[in-house]
Amino acid sequence: MPHLPLPSRIDLTKVDIRAIVPNALRNLPLPEVDADRVVAVAKDAGYTAVGAAVLAFQRAQVRRREFESWVARHVPQASDALVRAGDVAEQVVATVAKAIRKEPPQN
């Protein structure tokens, strides 16, 4: 990625903002804003976001515990079924191997 050198110091003391802003915007009436109300709403939004994140985390923890419980209940059963299936497969392979050894070669 290319590296662009950034100035270490920018002096904006001599910038004339009136020369930049169009005349139509200079006399634009702005509404009165209650700064304390804006701060209060921002705090409420922040607290709400943090609360939602905490609830989501707790819900994920509950799901994780439910999954752990399900695995603890079902994995032993699945493991036993796999062992039995492996035993049956070994018996089938042994039977087929014996049958192959007993058959005379066909010409």
Can you read off the two tokens belonging to residue 101? 């050894």
- Measured between alpha carbons, how far is 73 from 43 in angstroms, rounded to an integer? 45
Tens-digit pLDDT profile for residues 13-69 = 888 877 887 777 777 788 888 999 999 999 999 999 999 999 999 999 999 999 999
Q: Is the pTM of this model over 0.75?
A: no
Q: Give residues with Cβ within 8 angstroms of 18, minimum separation 6.
A: 26
Hey, how many other C-beta atoms are within 10 angstroms of the C-beta on 14? 5
- Measured between alpha carbons, how far is 56 from 50 in angstroms, rounded to an integer? 10
- Measured between alpha carbons, how far is 54 from 68 in angstroms, rounded to an integer? 21
